[in-house]
Amino acid sequence: MKATIFFILLTVLARSRGQYHYQGLMNYLENRMLAMEERISLWHEQNNRYNSDLKEFRQQAADLLEKLGKEHNKLHLDMEGAGARVDRVEREMDYIETKNPPKPCMKAADKMVEQDVVVRERKKEEFFELSVCVNIVSSLKAMKILKRLGSPKGVWTKDARSAKVYAFNGTSDNTLYEFNSVRALSASSGVSKGRQITVSIAWNGTGHAVYDGFLYYVSESSELQVIKYDLKNGSVADSAVFPMDDRSPVYQLNPETLVDLVADEDGLWALYPAGDTINLAKMDIDSLDIEQMWDTACPRNNAEAAFIVCGTVYVVYNTKPPSRSRVQCVFDVNDMVSSGEAPLIYFPRRYGAHSSLKYNSEERQLYAWDDGYQILYKLALKKKLWAIMPPPEE
Ligand SMILES: *[C@@H]1O[C@H](CO)[C@@H](O)[C@H](O)[C@H]1NC(C)=O
Ligand SMILES: *[C@@H]1O[C@H](CO)[C@@H](O)[C@H](O)[C@H]1NC(C)=O
Ligand SMILES: *[C@@H]1O[C@H](CO)[C@@H](O)[C@H](O)[C@H]1NC(C)=O
């Protein structure tokens, strides 16, 4: 196109000048034109090459994008699949937990304090039995103050099996009161409005536990006794002497309680003092035999109460005079909860101090007695870290 315009221009120029100059100019211009055409064709060629390169690059980019898109989709699907699997496993675990309440299992032979008790051989399956119960406390979800009944110290607790509620006014007596529900207790005008139960051997402290129609309590006379009392027909089902030399309290801030009993689907536990620390014993819920003992290494000093969730002991500390109660020491019988994993749990500020904290596994809440107030603390639980990762090698 450019060449054509140039040629016309040349023709016009040629006619206006003399023939003489014509040939020389013509040669000169022709040479220039050839050079230009050459450059144009070179440019065309380059342009074509560039175009085809660009096309190729576009194609490659499109392929790459398509592949990336596909991989992204696949990743997304994989993640959704994994999420669904985790959900399903959690649901299955919840189901298994409701169907088979977890059984006790022991571990940590090195932690055992060997005394003249029957120490059972640890079986391999025991690890897997406990793995069903995999919760640790993550936070305090809610709190409810129900009522103020009775004296500053006492116990109230609910039988996780029978759903009946029991109140123990004070720290030593031979009577307790039974209510059909928490509502019945909060609607009553006093502790003594419940059904009165009188036990033949008096109870001491705040270490009582009620589970599946049985009351487990400590009686201090010449000997320290653990008593199993049948609440259905009002009789002592069994009793055992608790092997403890010195009579110091398990929690320094509650001097009336020497031994704290916990009964749950894992069986019967006893928290008791040993030197400056708190020890834990696992007892047979039927025979009251002591099966195994651990030193939790949790100090008794400034301890106020403790509770057990899925084989993990949470010791609650306070100060004298009382300030905020907090979980400051955690001990797991399976050695599976690292100290960093269990968060420090602070209780809301109250005027008094807890004389007892009784955990109900069905409701996941604590029945607390604080300066005569009956309080419920709802706990948020999460899975133990090892439960969502492969179990460690034996
Ligand atoms: C609860 O204990 C306090 C102090 O020991 C006592 O004054 C009160 O009468 C008791 N209440 C009931 C209902 O037993
Ligand atoms: C245990 O309780 C009984 C009955 O209330 C009481 O007589 C006894 O003094 C208490 N023992 C201790 C060591 O407090
Ligand atoms: C109470 O019930 C248990 C089992 O149901 C039975 O073994 C025991 O003998 C009964 N005790 C009395 C005093 O009725």
pLDDT at 96: 54
Give yes or no: residues 33 and 164 share one domain.
Answer: no
Specify the DSSP class assigned to residue 315.
Answer: E
Q: Identify whether residues 69 and 165 lie together within a single domain.
A: no
Q: 109 and 70 in one domain?
A: no
Instruction: Please give the Cα distance from 230 to 169 (Å, whole number).
Output: 20
Q: Are residues 179 and 252 in the same domain?
A: yes
Which range of residues forms the domain containing residue 234? 105-388
Confirm whether 31 is domain-assigned.
yes
Q: Do residues 325 and 177 share a domain?
A: yes
Residue 329 half-sphere exposure toward CB, CA atoms < 13 A: 20
Shared domain for 90 and 183, answered yes or no, is: no
Does 297 map to a domain?
A: yes
Atom of ligand 1 nearest to the CA of 175: 14
394 within domain boundaries: no
pTM of the complete model: 0.69
Considering 100, 115, 147, which residue would you say is the last residue of a domain?
100
CA dist 30 → 10, 21, 35, 279 (Å): 10, 14, 9, 110
277-283/290-299 β-pairing: antiparallel
Task: Identify whether residues 121 and 221 lie together within a single domain.
Answer: yes
CB of 150 sitting under 6 A from ligand 1: yes
Distance 286 CA to ligand 3 centre (A): 14
For the Cβ of 174 lying below 6 angstroms from any atom of ligand 1, the answer is no
Residue 111 within a domain: yes
162 assigned to some structural domain = yes
Mean pLDDT by 10 residues, the chain (394 residues): 52 53 75 81 80 78 76 72 59 53 35 34 40 79 92 96 95 97 92 93 97 96 94 95 91 97 92 96 95 94 95 92 89 77 82 92 94 95 70 50
How far is residue 125's CA from residue 288's CA, in Å, rounded to a whole number? Answer: 23
| Number of folded domains that form the chain | 2
Looking at the structure, tell me whether residues 244 and 140 fall in a common domain.
yes
| 219 CA closest ligand 2 atom index | 1
Give the three-class secondary structure for 20: helix
Task: Compute, in angstroms, the gap from residue 192 CA to the centroid of ligand 1.
Answer: 9
- The answer as to whether 382 is a domain residue is yes
How far apart are the CA of 102 and the centre of ligand 3, in A? 27
Residue 122: the pLDDT is: 40
pLDDT attached to residue 172: 97
Residue 267, CA distances (Å) to 44, 131, 136, 317 in order: 90, 16, 18, 25
- What pLDDT score was predicted for residue 2? 53
* Confidence at residue 150, expressed as pLDDT on a 0 to 100 scale: 86
One domain, residues 235 and 170: yes
Of the candidates 360, 307, 373, 376, the one whose C-alpha atom is nearest the C-alpha of residue 162 is 360
Among residues 56, 78, 100, the one where a domain terminates is 100
Q: What CA–CA distance (Å, rounded) separates 65 from 9?
A: 52
What is the CATH classification number for the domain harbouring 379?
A: 2.120.10
Same domain, 73 and 180: no
pLDDT at 70: 77
For position 357, what pLDDT does the model report? 97
Atom of ligand 2 at shortest range from CA of 247: 13
Ligand 2 neighbourhood includes 175 CB (under 6 angstroms)? no
In a domain, 393, yes or no: no
Rg, Å, the chain Cα set: 41
pLDDT at position 88 is: 60
Query: Of all atoms in ligand 1, which is nearest to the CA of residue 190?
Result: 13
What is the number of residues in the chain?
394
- The pLDDT, as a whole number, for residue 258 is 97
Q: Which of 62, 80, 100 is the last residue of a domain?
A: 100
Say if 172 falls within a structural domain.
yes
The verdict on 267 and 343 lying in the same domain is: yes
170 C-beta closer than 6 A to ligand 1: yes
3-class SS at 54?
A: helix
Q: Examine the domain organization and report whether 114 and 55 are in the same domain.
A: no
